[in-house]
Amino acid sequence: MLSCLPVSLFPDFFAGRTTVGEWARFAASIDLDAFDISILFVRDRTPQGLAAFRKDAESGGIPLAMLTTYPDFTAPDPVTYEKELIRALSDISVAADLGARYVRLTAGQVYPGEDMGRQLDQVCRAFEVCADHAERWGIRLLWENHSKPMAWEREDFNYGEDRLDAMLERLRGSRVRMNYDIANAWLVDKDLSFLHSCFPEIASIHINDAASRDPIVFTGIGDGKADVRGSLATLRKMGYTGLYSIEEASGQGWDGIRKYVEVTRGILSGN
C-alpha cells in the first residue's frame, strides 16, 4: 500500500486554504492507495465535527491510512505528562472516529539535564496505556525514529544515536510497532545495518529525504543525501509488504506531491 503525508500542504491546511476532502480526492486522482493526515488538521473534535471531517475525508474513495500525532511523553513535570497521555488517548479515539488504520506516536522532546532512563521509562509506560486503548478500537500504534516536528521547541528524545538504540531495544516485541523513517535514520548517521536491525519491528515506512543535518533540511525524495534507493531495495530483498508512506516535504505544494509520488514509484519499481 502506498500512501502520503502531505507536509508540503501543511501551511495551506493551517491557513484554511485546503480541506481534507481536497487532499483525499487529489490523492485518489494520482492513484495513491491511501492518504495520511496530521492530527493538527482536525480542528473540531465534537461528534458532529468529526462526522463531517470523516465524510469529507471519504470523498476520495480511498482509506485514511495513518494519523500522525505528537505526544510529549518525556515531559519532566508529572502534571504535563498526565495531560500529554490524556491528549494521546483522545487522539487515538479521534483516529477511530475517522477510520484511520494507524496512529503514529512520538516519544517526546529531549529535555537537557534529565535522566535518559527515566525519560525512556515514561515513554514505555505511556505507550502501554495507549496500546490498551488502541486495541479496543482496532487501531495499530506506531513509534518513529523521529527528528523535530514544527509543533515542538526541541528535538525528539530518540533523535540521537544512543537514545534511539536504547528505545529500539526497549520496544522490541512490544505492541507499538515501528514507523521507520528513512531520512531521519540518515540524519542520525544510521546506515543500512540499522534498517536490518529494525526490520522485525517495522510495520510502516516513511519515505522521505534530507539535504542537511545541521540545520535539519528536508527535501524532495531523491534530491537529498539519505539512502532512499538503498533502503527501499533492502526492504524489497527482506520481503517487506507493509505500508509505504511518502512524507512529501519538498515545499512545492500540489505539484511537488505529484512529482515525488512518481519519483517514489520509480524507485520502488527498481528504476
Q: Tens place of pLDDT for every residue, the chain, 271 residues?
A: 999 999 999 999 999 999 999 999 999 999 999 999 999 999 999 999 999 999 999 999 999 999 999 999 999 999 999 999 999 999 999 999 999 999 999 999 999 899 999 999 999 999 999 999 999 999 999 999 999 877 788 899 999 889 999 999 999 999 999 999 999 999 999 999 999 999 999 999 999 999 999 999 999 999 999 999 999 999 999 999 999 999 999 999 999 999 999 999 999 988 6
The rounded distance, in Å, linking the Cα atoms of 69 and 87 is: 10
Torsions phi, psi for 221 (to 5 deg): -60, 125
CA dist list (Å): 72 to 69, 82, 153, 215: 10, 10, 11, 22
Q: How many other C-beta atoms can be found within 10 angstroms of the C-beta atom of residue 135? A: 13
pLDDT at 271: 67
CA dist list (Å): 271 to 228, 235, 241, 249, 265: 12, 15, 19, 22, 9
- Grid cell 515542538 — which residue? 152
Among candidate residues 19, 68, 82, the one with its CA nearest the CA of residue 39: 68
Q: What is the pLDDT of residues 131-159, one digit of tens each?
A: 999 999 999 999 999 998 777 888 999 99
CA dist list (Å): 143 to 1, 173, 208, 268: 19, 13, 16, 23
pLDDT at 270: 80
pLDDT at 148: 84
Average pLDDT, whole number, for the chain? 96
CATH number at residue 262: 3.20.20.150
At 188 the three-state DSSP class reads coil
Question: Do 145 and 185 form a contact (C-beta atoms < 8 A)?
Answer: yes
Q: Is the peptide bond before 215 cis (omega within 30 degrees of 0)?
A: yes
CA 107-149-58 angle, to 5 degrees, is: 95
Q: What share of the chain is helix, strand, coil (3-state, %, to 5)?
A: 50, 15, 35
Q: For residue 120, what is its C-alpha cell?
A: 525512556
Q: How many domains does the chain have?
A: 1
In terms of residue numbers, what domain contains 134?
Answer: 2-268
Q: What is the pLDDT of residues 101-119, one digit of tens each?
A: 999 999 999 998 999 999 9
